[in-house]
Structure 1
Amino acid sequence: MHFVEAKGILYSKNGMNLYRGCTHGCIYCDSRSKCYNMPHAFEDIEVKINAPQLLEKALRSKRKKCMIGTGAMCDPYMPVEAELKLTRRCLELIERYQFGAAVQTKSDLILRDIDLLTSINEQQKAVVQLTMTTFDDELCGMIEPNVCRTSRRFEVLMEIKKRDIPTIVWLTPFLPYINDTEENLIGLLNYCAEAGVKGIISFGIGLTLREGNREYFYSALDRYFSGLSDRYRREFGYSYVIPSPDSSRLMGIIDDFCERYGIMHDNDRCFEYMSELPEKYEQLSLF
């Protein structure tokens, strides 16, 4: 872990990354890709120590309330957050200045801040996004080794449901010949239905590989799934998109399930929902 003074904190569409790098160890992580030009080791977390000051300045200068997002490139609830509390301090500012928040994570540490998320949702809007890839906890421990298991994430969803905070689940990625099975998918979808999620985001049944994350992924396959990296090389070569052979059928299962349970499942609509602050909230904030 090392500290930097960032020059800015909000990027396009009002998103922010308080950290850079990650220690969750997910074997498929695209953020390892060399195209992001990270100047340090991925697990050597870069901490934007002045993020709260930059965020407060940005919020005070905005003329219109909006949603503030975090978690797109790095998880805001990595273990270092338990000590540093940058995410919590930023949520406190979002609450104080009456903006909305959309937070994406894999970690149950988000429950520490459920008081702030509840308050933000009551006065404006909060959306919690959780990524779930693998219903079987033992397999999840291989694919996402340093973060809470999927069964625990389901418990997080249920706790958030009690607070009437809307949730979006990212069902992605699915690794061909590992977790791209109907059994895995149905288990995850049943979790979503029981937790009453607002929406599901899925970019197809598969994953993406680029220089940097491809090598890390293949190394993990060699540790846990003997011979599978050779199969990937034969079938996919250096392709960016790595689709499951069963992608169409499994995507059909997602679509049918979401229609049956009234779950929003158009990706564009999910992103619109997470970025829009309803006019009624904006009007209330004027008084």
Structure 2
Amino acid sequence: MSVTLPPRGRGTGSNPFNRFAPTLSVAEDDGWYQEVPPTRATEVRIETAKSIIARNQSPDLPFDRSINPYRGCEHGCIYCYARPSHAYWDMSPGIDFETRLIAKTNAAALLEQQLSKPGYQCAPIALGANTDPYQPIEREHRLTRQILEVLLRYRHPLTIVTKGSLVLRDLDLLSQLAEQRLVKVMISLTTLDDELKRVLEPRAAAPSARLRAIRVLRENRIPVGVLCSPMIPMINDSELESLLEAARDAGARSASYMLVRLPREVAPLFEEWLQAHYPQRAAHVMSIIRQCRGGEVYDSRFGKRFSGEGAFAQLLAQRFAVAMRRLGLEKRGDVALDCSRFCPPGGQMALL
């Protein structure tokens, strides 16, 4: 297998073709030398979205609606299950996913419109289910903060999953939401090894920064937990207990985990990454993943896709359960979000 090393600060150097494209172009070496640029700049396209709340009916998810203010993610996590979605926008799930991004600049205004509809029924909104709401471009575009401001005005509950320490910028809004039991935050923590983080999640916050985010959120009385995801056999699964313990010591009160998922174009990108960074164990890693997925690299069945099956998956689940009991962590957290407070500005809250 040929290996393409990623540009500096990126998760992959490959750009596999868009599966919806009518033609396929293949690069051939014609003998002329061309210098490959050492970096790849991030491009952000502005989009006027038509809708902002995405719905799902998955029994595996604890929410039925979500908001993603961005398409693509600059964090560049090689394992990201959202990579294949970039093909819908005529871009590659490879390096395009982490360098050619789309910002939904009308997200906040559109959210107000949807929340103000007479028939809207309130339920917690998951912020950042497909890409990270606190990826680096949020510093400039501030779409996540604008969405939080709308949800606070409407007293609408939400959950946040992020591996970005930029979440601490919005402590003022999160604190007000937490006072009314309207928010939970889950910090995604994949490894405590800085070198592994550098190649696995190039532009995500360092492990120490994520632990600090947990600590500061807890100190500000914002419900916070840890998501150990994904667990990758023979890469970071040995860290499961230490991840949970470090997060608990930082202030997390709830935790969950997921086994690595490799849908569509993610599988070949991940295998290429293994060959580039862990060539001696690449075959072993993929063998265990297949054992957890019924002999395939991916299993999309509900009830199986997050946890897998087989001896390795069962052992991982047992280790997680034992660590949770030992550390006193909860699966769902200690605060239930309050939907009864929802009220559009100028409206009247329910009397009962």
Gaps of 5+ in 2: 1-43, 56-63, 300-307
Name the residue aligned to 2:298.
240
Deviation for aligned residue 1:68: 2.4
Deviation for aligned residue 1:145: 1.3
Q: Is the 8 A contact 1:105 1:131 kept in 2?
A: yes
Query: CA, structure 1 residues 114+35, in 2 after alignment: closer, same or farther (shift >3 Å)?
Result: closer
Q: Of 169, 186, 196, which residue of structure 2 is paired with 1:112?
A: 169
* Structure 2 residue identity aligned to 1:155: R
* Structure 1 residue identity aligned to 2:319: I
Name the residue aligned to 1:19.
70
Distance 2:241 2:255 in 1: 13
- Where do 1:222-261 residues align within 5 Å? 222-232=275-285, 236=290, 238-241=296-299, 246-261=312-327
TM-score of the two chains, using structure 2 as the length reference:
0.71
Deviation for aligned residue 1:75: 0.3
SS at match of 1:33: helix
Deviation for aligned residue 1:173: 1.0
Does 1:129 pair with 2:172? no
Distance 1:170 1:243 in 2: 20
* Structure 1 residue identity aligned to 2:186: Q
Query: CA, structure 1 residues 32+282, in 2 after alignment: closer, same or farther (shift >3 Å)?
Result: closer
Distance 2:266 2:169 in 1: 31
Name the residue aligned to 1:264.
330
Deviation for aligned residue 1:161: 0.3
**Further displaced range: 214-223 or 247-256:** 247-256
Runs of 4 or more, structure 1, over 4 Å off, are 62-65, 232-235, 241-246, 281-287
Deviation for aligned residue 1:175: 1.4
* Structure 1 residue identity aligned to 2:72: G
SS at match of 1:73: coil
Q: Of 100, 111, 117, which residue of structure 2 is paired with 1:61?
A: 117
Q: How many residue pairs align between the two structures?
A: 277
Name the residue aligned to 2:136.
79
SS at match of 1:185: helix
Query: CA, structure 1 residues 244+20, in 2 after alignment: closer, same or farther (shift >3 Å)?
Result: farther
More helix by share: 1
Query: CA, structure 1 residues 176+147, in 2 after alignment: closer, same or farther (shift >3 Å)?
Result: same
**Further displaced range: 136-145 or 112-121:** 136-145
SS at match of 1:25: coil
Q: Of 143, 151, 160, which residue of structure 2 is paired with 1:94?
A: 151
Name the residue aligned to 2:46.
3
Distance 2:311 2:89 in 1: 33
Name the residue aligned to 1:158.
215
* Structure 1 residue identity aligned to 2:113: K
Deviation for aligned residue 1:186: 2.3
Q: Is the 8 A contact 1:98 1:124 kept in 2?
A: no
Give a deviation string over 1:107-141, Cα, whole Å, max 9, x none: 00010011101111113421111111112222222
* Structure 1 residue identity aligned to 2:107: A
Q: Is the 8 A contact 1:100 1:121 kept in 2?
A: no
Q: Is the 8 A contact 1:175 1:207 kept in 2?
A: yes
Gaps of 5+ in 1: none
Q: Is the 8 A contact 1:71 1:104 kept in 2?
A: yes
